[in-house]
Structure 1
Amino acid sequence: MNKLKSTSPWAWVPTLYFAQGIPYVVVMTVSVIMYKRLGVSNTDIALYTSWLYLPWVIKPLWSPVVDLLKTKRWWIIIMQLLIGAGLAGVALTIPVPNFFKFTLAFLWLLAFSSATHDIAADGFYMLGLNEHKQAYFIGIRSTFYRISMITGQGLLIILAGFIESSSGLEPVDFTVTTQSHKTEWLVPTDIDYGSAQNGEMSFVIDTDQVALGTNNINKTRADEIKAWAKAHNLNNGFVQQEATLAKDDSWWARQVADPLKKTLKEKFGKADKVVNQADAQGNIAVIGIRLSTSPGEGETVVLNMDRNKGAKDLSLIEGQRLTFTADNWNKNAQVLIQVDPKQQGVVSTSFRGLSGNIPLAWSVTFFVLAGLFVTFLIYHRFILPKPAGDRPVSQGSSMFKEFGQTFVSFFKKDNIGMAMLFILVFRLGESQLVKLASPFLLDAKEIGGLGLTTGDVGLIYGTIGILFLTLGGILGGWVASRQGLKYWIFWMTLAINLPNLTYVYLSFYMPESMWLIASSVAVEQFGYGFGFTAFMLYLIYFSQGKSKTAHYAICTGFMALGMMIPGMVSGWLQEIIGYQNFFIWVMICTIPSFVVIKFLKIDPTFGIKKAEE
């Protein structure tokens, strides 16, 4: 019996695309959080991890090799082996002294292997399924790809955090409660607490119950407290001075970038501050934390502070990450909590600090990932079908000629101009929204955000978000398989763009209700899952032909470019015009997608189930 007919797509499509998404999210997101936990500066993190995106942008350059040499099935198995090796390499080099450059080297291996795996997996999908099943499973594959994104940003981080907290000292817990009476928090003097206490090492906190008056304080006084705490923590080595990039004095900056920034600020700039009065800053509490005994020579104890639960009107503004050594263990590191200047009632918030063996936590996490890919490798080695069309396109001396002809044939396709324009602008709004959605949810109210905790955002995206994303993706694939891409492309374009209005609503009304915020995210995620089906189906449709694997890879390379360039400037733009105007701009950027779909040439029968013998 033909193995293609005997192997259900349900047995390999979900696992293949889950495996495709994991290394991408590890390289692009998990690595950023890992390096931050390991104390790498923001400048180095941003610079070096941004370069890791390059393999996905330029993968069309070697996609013909995957088409011309070996089978897609062979490439999938080999790349999963290399991905597992890269993950294990990262795990092994995290504890070494020069971990940054060694782990980056293995992440480059991971990035190139993952990009090549994408080429082979997408080509195999088109070879292993007929046209109708490609349309039917497009929502399934997109959903499991997005599930892998959420797994990487959620479960992997939770695992690392759990190991970190389990391997460290007892957590630091304190509660801040607002009181109606007035208080003036005195800035403490620097105190050396001298010799170590008896017993095991632990954190010592000034007080675990803080009463903070709701009276607003003078801006000068608030700035004085903040400046003192920041200088104290910096001078005593509790925090590290992050490197800053030198001011760009190039011709481009003088003649284009700086004047454009000034014009945008003047025309559209808006301070995203809830309170804009110079003498109306929220009261500030100062809490001191130190160690009971000295760490060993060369040993560091890192404490990561965050809101645990309770009201969002109390914000942690200093002391998010504190490093204790043998040189500063007997001095207080200073933590600052500030109340929202609008809050006049009694509210309470608990804060928690976790320490632990951070290199161990991340090494274990990456070893788990390496083991996962060994499992994928073994499973796919036996379960992937062997389609008759999965064979090398060319062998021998004609390979290089075929290589060049692959690119030429792509750009000679009918309607190539409109197709490229569609790929670049269909997600123009989404490419910018996706970069700022989470920062908007996490940022404090004072700067226009919703003030959610990391746990809140993880809960929203990891439960409600994933449920509605899955429903949208499955529904999109189902309806496309019944009436075809051409019929649904307008409605799917509407679905992926219109729900972005929820962020316009959230930025203007800034609701407190978690259910309302979660519902807004659910609407946006459902629309994304449903609408993204049209995008992926069109890439498959446009790639049809002799070199479909290479042509699809070229399409996804342009897709990556269309996401990368707008995403690069989105943060810069948001800082100038504020969240409210930024989300309005996102809606404006959705207009080109509605225009360009009118000029696409699509076979009305593509995706619809046809009668089979």
Structure 2
Amino acid sequence: MSQSTPPTSAPAPQAGSPIRWVPSLYFVQGMQFFVVMLLAGLMFKNMGVPNDQIARWTGLLGLAWAIKPLWSPFLELARSKKLVVVAMQFTGAVGLGLMALAVQMPMYFAASIAVLFLLAYASATHDIACDGLYLASLDPKQQAAYAGWQGAFFNASKFLTLGGLLVLAGHLEKSMGVFNAWSVIFAVLAILLAALAAYNAKVLPNVLSPVTADRSAANVWRTLKEVIADFLKKPGIWAMILFIVLFRFAEGQVQTIGPLFLIEAREKGGLGLTTEQVGGIYGTVGTGAFLIGSILGGYFTSWLSLKRAMPILILAMGVPNLTFYYLAVAHPADMLHIGAAVAVEMFGYGFGFVGMILFIMQVVAPGKFSTAHYALGSGVMQLGFIFSKTISGDIQMAMGYEHFFLWTIVCGLPALLLMFFVKMPTLGKTEVVSAGEPKADAVTAQ
């Protein structure tokens, strides 16, 4: 973070191809993130926790990924990023094992949240070291060649958590009860993560960080203050920050309450789906539609340029709001109808979110500390999501589902207006974004 680009050093010779470790590394990164930010909320819903409590506490969990730029420079002081990665993976495995016990306790909600905080901060720290190890171990050509494997296995973990384990949890709930079922799920996750951590301890490259004269906590802290000060001096930065927050204001609310609405009993205004059905929808057609939307959104923006595409991208971000409002009004009962609506929702979400990633990349980040400023911009984006996620449960419980989703449609309008007051890149065409879901430092999906 102390330079505009990561420190360059010749990658150490590797015992084997990166294909041995890149997939497992990024599968773990995604698995830990989705367990905390997706699976936990759906579990609490089935345990009878009110929506406001779910939204408030799972929103606060996301703070770990928002503020990780503040301690990421200090991880550069570690001589071995592999050691940090493996330690955080084993910490995550222990945390998942503790979750299996926590859900059996009388004060299960408080105990589970405490363990999830441990998991969240271990996962965020893992992300920093994980990406640093990737950059230090591979030359630029290899980094580009294996970027697709990164995204593919990060998203494969979403298929596991939503398309696999959530469906399994729903099946087990019928025979074992909700609490026992989730104990089994977290025990399985703990064993899986421990096995992957042991594998990664064996195959990850051990590239040591170079010893330099300025490798001290005092120098890192001094540089961090310089990076933040330079970020806040950018022309129009406060308008940019407001735009980033407003861009995600409606999204954070819909992506939090939407899945809970699907599970909520029909007599309470929801659609009354089972855990298995929600897992099946989001883990298959939902994730697939998101990936297709992300790919097409990237090519669309590349073709039109960010400045001209942004209004359409913002409108695409409103598609989930409209979709859930429609579902709250129509209350369809057949799975084909509901599945098609979720596919439309996730396609619009993936298509539109490209706009925010590129806005941070091309408008907010450029300058002396571009890499660090991209991380700070992503942190602001995450904070905006957390704010809207945290308050969403209170708003929904006060309004009811139908009026809540109507409210989120209104929440999407300020970003559309503010777009005309922030600068946009004017140079040529926009680069295509890598396909797939942005990683945890960039987005909290759902």
Q: Distance in 2 between matches of 1:46 and 1:483?
A: 37
Q: Identify which of 336, 341, 345 aligns with 1:520.
A: 341
| CA deviation profile, 1:220-248 (whole Å, cap 9, x unmatched) | xxxxxxxxxxxxxxxxxxxxxxxxxxxxx
Alignment of 1:159-558 (within 5 A): 159-160=168-169, 165=172, 354-355=175-176, 358-359=179-180, 361-377=181-197, 394-396=214-216, 398-478=219-299, 485-486=306-307, 488-541=309-362, 542-543=364-365, 550-558=372-380
Q: Distance in 1 between matches of 2:107 and 2:398?
A: 38
> Which residue of 2 is the match for residue 313 of structure 1?
none
Residue 49 of structure 1: CA displacement? Answer: 5.8
Contact 2:32 2:123 in 1 (8 A): yes
Change (3 A) 1:499 1:564: closer
1:596 aligned to 2:418?
yes
Residue 537 of structure 1: CA displacement? Answer: 3.4
Residue 452 of structure 1: CA displacement? Answer: 3.1
Q: Distance in 1 between matches of 2:176 and 2:186?
A: 19
> Which residue of 2 is the match for residue 20 of structure 1?
29
| CA deviation profile, 1:47-96 (whole Å, cap 9, x unmatched) | 86665444334334323323565576664444323323333444467778
Higher share in helix: 2
Contact 2:61 2:117 in 1 (8 A): yes
1:117 aligned to 2:135?
no
Q: Distance in 2 between matches of 1:5 and 1:425?
A: 46
Q: Identify which of 380, 403, 408 aligns with 1:581.
A: 403
| CA deviation profile, 1:388-429 (whole Å, cap 9, x unmatched) | 999989403523322322322322334422331232111221
Q: Distance in 2 between matches of 1:477 and 1:383?
A: 34
Contact 2:75 2:129 in 1 (8 A): yes
Tell me the SS of whatever aligns to 2:271: coil
Tell me the SS of whatever aligns to 1:354: helix
Residue 444 of structure 1: CA displacement? Answer: 3.9
Q: Distance in 2 between matches of 1:41 and 1:421?
A: 30
Q: Distance in 1 between matches of 2:32 and 2:229?
A: 31
Which segment drifts farther, 496-505 or 480-489?
A: 480-489
Q: Distance in 2 between matches of 1:502 and 1:100?
A: 31
Which letter maps to 1:151? L
Contact 2:47 2:179 in 1 (8 A): yes
Which letter maps to 2:382? A
Q: Distance in 2 between matches of 1:570 and 1:424?
A: 15
TM-score, normalised relative to structure 2: 0.73
Which letter maps to 2:189? L
Contact 1:71 1:392 in 2 (8 A): no
Q: Distance in 1 between matches of 2:72 and 2:165?
A: 30
How big is the alpha-carbon RMSD for the aligned residues of Structure 1 and Structure 2?
A: 4.6
Change (3 A) 1:445 1:494: same
| CA deviation profile, 1:237-288 (whole Å, cap 9, x unmatched) | xxxxxxxxxxxxxxxxxxxxxxxxxxxxxxxxxxxxxxxxxxxxxxxxxxxx
Which letter maps to 1:601? M
Which letter maps to 1:405? E
> Which residue of 2 is the match for residue 219 of structure 1?
none
> Larger RCO: Structure 1 or Structure 2 (Cα < 8 Å, ≥ 6 residues apart)?
2
| CA deviation profile, 1:500-530 (whole Å, cap 9, x unmatched) | 3222322333334432222111111112122
Q: Distance in 2 between matches of 1:399 and 1:430?
A: 35
1:571 aligned to 2:383?
no
> Which residue of 2 is the match for residue 59 of structure 1?
68
Change (3 A) 1:446 1:38: closer
Tell me the SS of whatever aligns to 2:175: strand
Q: Identify which of 104, 108, 132 aligns with 2:117.
A: 108
Contact 1:493 1:531 in 2 (8 A): yes
Contact 2:32 2:119 in 1 (8 A): yes
Change (3 A) 1:473 1:375: farther
Change (3 A) 1:596 1:36: closer
Change (3 A) 1:392 1:428: farther
Identify unmatched segments of 5+ residues in structure 1.
166-303, 305-352
> Which residue of 2 is the match for residue 148 of structure 1?
157
Q: Distance in 2 between matches of 1:492 and 1:135?
A: 28
Q: Distance in 1 between matches of 2:212 and 2:316?
A: 39
Which letter maps to 1:587? I
Change (3 A) 1:369 1:521: same
Identical pairs, percent:
38
Residue 45 of structure 1: CA displacement? Answer: 7.4
Q: Distance in 2 between matches of 1:520 and 1:129?
A: 43
Q: Distance in 2 between matches of 1:484 and 1:12?
A: 36
Which letter maps to 2:221? F
> Which residue of 2 is the match for residue 607 of structure 1?
431
Q: Identify which of 377, 384, 394 aligns with 1:562.
A: 384
Contact 1:60 1:557 in 2 (8 A): yes
| CA deviation profile, 1:470-505 (whole Å, cap 9, x unmatched) | 222233345556776556444433322235322232
Higher share in strand: 1
TM-score, normalised relative to structure 1: 0.56
Contact 1:68 1:394 in 2 (8 A): no
Q: Distance in 1 between matches of 2:17 and 2:315?
A: 33
| CA deviation profile, 1:363-393 (whole Å, cap 9, x unmatched) | 5433432343345445656777899999989
Contact 1:17 1:145 in 2 (8 A): yes
Q: Distance in 2 between matches of 1:483 and 1:135?
A: 26
Contact 2:81 2:208 in 1 (8 A): no
Contact 2:81 2:206 in 1 (8 A): no
Change (3 A) 1:486 1:117: farther
Choose 1 or 2 for highest CA Rg: 1
Change (3 A) 1:593 1:47: closer
Q: Distance in 2 between matches of 1:481 and 1:513?
A: 38
